[in-house]
Structure 1
Amino acid sequence: MTTAEAYVEFGSREARGVSPTYERLSWAVARDDALLALLDTLPPGKRQPNLLFAVVRWLGGPVDDPATFHDYTVTHWPAIEVELRTRATQTNESGRCAVLLPVLAALPQPLALLEVGASAGLCLYPDRYAYRYGEHQVGSGEPVLECAAGGMVPPACVPQVVWRAGLDLNPLDVTDPDDVSWLEALIWPEHAHRRARLRAAAAVAAADPPLLVRGDLVDDLPALAAQAPAGATLVVFHTSVLYQVPAARREAFVRLVRELPGHWISNEAPEVLRHDGLPDAPDAALHNVLALDGKPLAWTRGHGQAMTWFG
């Protein structure tokens, strides 16, 4: 896929109906030869729309108007390029816990959670958040995570978590204002509710910080998994992470995680982690596939805002 095609796909499948600002910007970049030429000097994984738009916003640049975005990006390209090469899309969306919850609540309790690609670890607190599936509410406290769920009976309670740990190449610290400002820049412009949710989830994590380990998802996973307490069900999980991992490394991770004790929950795009016999997605928007131990269960939207159960 060319860089232009990647921006068209992002605009039409991810941003459409979710962020008019990013939809408009994506289409503009896809037709902007000057910006495409600059982006094509970067490694493929550093050209993605989410990363570019977040870096420009984090540096104080404009995203509301494609023309001013073009001018700012061309003028400030040296500074933007430095950030693109060093940063990653570590969108730490606690809302994704809403699509993980039905699986987590059904596993043998208590749980030892280990998230791969944990960012700041905000998805390691599914027991501390509240959830609303239509009229059905589960749990208590803040934030309240809303999810439009079809084809399933919502869980009756939150899981019992006795250990939580995360593995990331560059773990972020919710007590570091610079790290939190980067997490806020990754939230799309119109999504004030997600910014409020981030702050509430960050407060939960800061009050009881998780164990976050800087490391590789293959080389360092077994040692961290071995720290999980006996008597708890180990759950290794990840969501919208593996697209950043080269295919061969991804396959090595899948082989490894299948051999670990406990369970494996994945929530990834179907072209990133393939499953046979998937039903049609609910619509043309970009969906992830939620799976337990390699068995697909549901279509989910990227920020946890909706899920369609079929498993």
Structure 2
Amino acid sequence: MIGHESDLSISENYRRFAHLEAAGHSRAYQELAEFVAEETTVLEFLGRLAPEKRQPNLLFAAARYILGEPANPDSLTRLIDERSAELVAIMSERRTQTNEAARCAILLPALAFIPGPLALIEVGAAAGLTLLVDFYNYDYHGHVLKGLDADAPVLTCQPMGPVPIPRRVPEVGWRAGLDLNPLDPSNPTDVEWLSCLIWPGEEGRAERLNAAAATARRHPVKIYRGDLLDDLAELAAKVPAGLTLVIYHTAVLAYVDEAKRCAFAALTRSLGAIWISNEAPGVVRDAAPSSPSRGFMLVRGGTELLAQSDPHGSWIEWLA
């Protein structure tokens, strides 16, 4: 797991979140993270938690879950002073599981040209919303692509560069997810948690979440409880013959240490899978961009850098 952090490194992590992640997306969370980075009371509270439970997204989502609205510096401080046990309980039980359906618009160009039919395994699948890549509808700046469900949301993505936008969605013959804490799109409490992970100021995400969850209820996907190393091979063994196995993930490997990332990469290759990762720069270390990135890195096979993209799927710049 992640190693021990000092209060200083917690502070640095929140400062980094404010300037590199929230900036330009959520002014409210940028300011809240800057506040946390300097506030001793909050830093001391975070320091008492396990290192993997100190993440800004987790703290802010848990606070919103309890408060019923996004926290601000005053309400977060009061919450820690008056209801810290309740906040600890939520943060201990829950995980950061953004499960933004719009990320499918980033994954689609990488998936659509793989010979099918495909067998999809998503690691860190949460409620399975990004396993429904063939059901959603897409709009790449006027290039409209219809999915298998006309009532599914339209995922709008700004393409830059020679993005290989397909003419049709890929054929998927089998799909499953793997997650330490699977979520159920038919469970209102789980959908509420996903809604709490949406940042204030990001228009359209709440409506898209509700539409994607409704799509998932119409097309249920099996999400298995398990670890990305311990249980992946057993799940891959369930794939029917004659399908091309694709293992993929978005914003997952950042939450495990370097040794586990390397072991995961070796495992996907040993399974004969096509591996698609969509992670922050440096997480998949053998596919570093030639210049500083503005977003996530879409990588095939751990080494082939395909594109950079908005972490929540609003734009993609093709580099391959």
Question: CA shift at 1:207, angstroms?
Answer: 1.3
Number of residue pairs the alignment of both structures matches = 308
Residues 1:292 and 2:296 aligned together: no
Q: 1:145 aligns with which of 134, 149, 155?
A: 155
Residues 310/105 of structure 1: CA separation in 2 closer, same or farther (3 Å cut): same
Q: 1:108 aligns with which of 104, 109, 115?
A: 115
Match in the other structure for 1:158: 169
Residues 1:48 and 2:59 aligned together: no
Question: CA shift at 1:277, angstroms?
Answer: 5.1
- C-alpha distance in 2, partners of 1:248/1:53? 29
1:53–1:63 CA contact under 8 A, matched in 2 = yes
1:166–1:212 CA contact under 8 A, matched in 2 = yes
What secondary structure, in the 3-state scheme, does the structure 1 residue paired with 2:205 have?
helix
Match in the other structure for 1:128: 135
Match in the other structure for 1:307: 316
Q: Which runs of 5+ in 1 are unaligned?
A: none
Question: CA shift at 1:7, angstroms?
Answer: 0.7
What secondary structure, in the 3-state scheme, does the structure 2 residue paired with 1:210 have?
coil
What secondary structure, in the 3-state scheme, does the structure 2 residue paired with 1:173 have?
coil
Question: CA shift at 1:240, angstroms?
Answer: 0.3
The normalised TM-score by structure 1 is 0.95
1:275–1:296 CA contact under 8 A, matched in 2 = no
Residues 279/201 of structure 1: CA separation in 2 closer, same or farther (3 Å cut): same
User: Map of 1:145-294 to 2, 5 A cutoff?
Assistant: 145-153=155-163, 154-276=165-287, 278-281=289-292, 283=294, 287-294=295-302
What do you get for the CA RMSD once the two structures are aligned?
1.5
What secondary structure, in the 3-state scheme, does the structure 2 residue paired with 1:132 have?
strand
Residues 265/65 of structure 1: CA separation in 2 closer, same or farther (3 Å cut): same
Q: Which amino acid aligns with 2:247?
A: V
Q: Which runs of 5+ in 2 are unaligned?
A: 1-7
Q: Which amino acid aligns with 2:23?
A: R
- C-alpha distance in 2, partners of 1:275/1:21? 35
1:114–1:167 CA contact under 8 A, matched in 2 = yes
What secondary structure, in the 3-state scheme, does the structure 1 residue paired with 2:120 have?
strand
What secondary structure, in the 3-state scheme, does the structure 2 residue paired with 1:238 have?
strand
1:238–1:266 CA contact under 8 A, matched in 2 = yes
1:21–1:189 CA contact under 8 A, matched in 2 = yes
What secondary structure, in the 3-state scheme, does the structure 2 residue paired with 1:166 have?
strand
Residues 156/281 of structure 1: CA separation in 2 closer, same or farther (3 Å cut): farther
The normalised TM-score by structure 2 is 0.92
What secondary structure, in the 3-state scheme, does the structure 2 residue paired with 1:95 have?
helix
Match in the other structure for 1:17: 24
- Runs of 4 or more above 6 Å deviation: none
- After TM superposition, the structure 1 stretch with the greater mean CA deviation from structure 2, 144-153 or 174-183, is 144-153
What secondary structure, in the 3-state scheme, does the structure 2 residue paired with 1:91 have?
coil
- C-alpha distance in 2, partners of 1:113/1:68? 42
- C-alpha distance in 1, partners of 2:69/2:194? 18
Residues 282/264 of structure 1: CA separation in 2 closer, same or farther (3 Å cut): closer
2:282–2:288 CA contact under 8 A, matched in 1 = no
1:118–1:171 CA contact under 8 A, matched in 2 = yes
What secondary structure, in the 3-state scheme, does the structure 1 residue paired with 2:283 have?
coil
